[in-house]
Amino acid sequence: MFKPSGNPKVLELCKSIKERSYNLSCLTPIKLTELNARGKPKRLCAWCAIGELSHGNMKYCSTECSNSAMAWAYPQKEDALRYLLLRQDFKCIHCQFDYRPFLEAIIDRDKRVLGSQLWDIDKLPWHYFKRLKDKVPQENKPEIDHIIPIYKGGQSLGLDNTCCICYRCHKVKTSKDLSGKRIKNVEP
């Protein structure tokens, strides 16, 4: 499941950035003044700011932190789609089109090819959701939508202002969104 960030820099960026993505290379581990067992300054995970990093080139303390950071920084990509579909019980938020049968068909095919391994639908890698987009009919392809459009003041980064809807519902919602007034960005 999506792990919210504990890094104050991430919370600050959510409020200030209005682009649709963020370059994660700018998000760095937190360095502390206290020393670790090897006599070097302690470094904490760039995402959760809790987990201690064991060696120099690590940025995240776990795969969960890494995946959560990717979903936050690139809300239009498959990592975010995974978390949103889990949150929405694998259904379009508007028309309730169910994506679970398509995803299960992809998993069943891989079980036959790769052998019987434990398959947890909650922990599938991002590429399964890329394949899901290819398998679903065009009018029902899952898309990521900003609930409050960015140009109307909605948050661009993270998953708080996003949902997964099908292509057909997204077209209808976008046409309604475009009919309203735009909010000018006020510089603080």
pLDDT tens digits, 64-101: 899 999 999 999 999 999 999 999 999 999 999 999 99
pLDDT(171) > 60? yes
Cα(167)–Cα(114) distance, rounded to whole angstroms? 32
- Return the domain boundaries, the chain: 1-73, 75-188
Radius of gyration, CA atoms only, the chain: 19
Which pLDDT belongs to residue 188? 47
* E strand map for 11-170: 30-35, 41-44, 142-146, 162-166
pTM of the model: 0.83
Contact status, residue 140 vs residue 168, Cβ threshold 8 Å: yes
Distances 149 to 95, 144, 159, 180 between C-alpha atoms, Å: 20, 12, 13, 10
pLDDT(160) > 60? yes
Q: What is the pLDDT of residues 15-60, one digit of tens each?
A: 777 787 888 888 888 888 787 777 778 888 999 988 888 777 889 9
Which pLDDT belongs to residue 27? 84
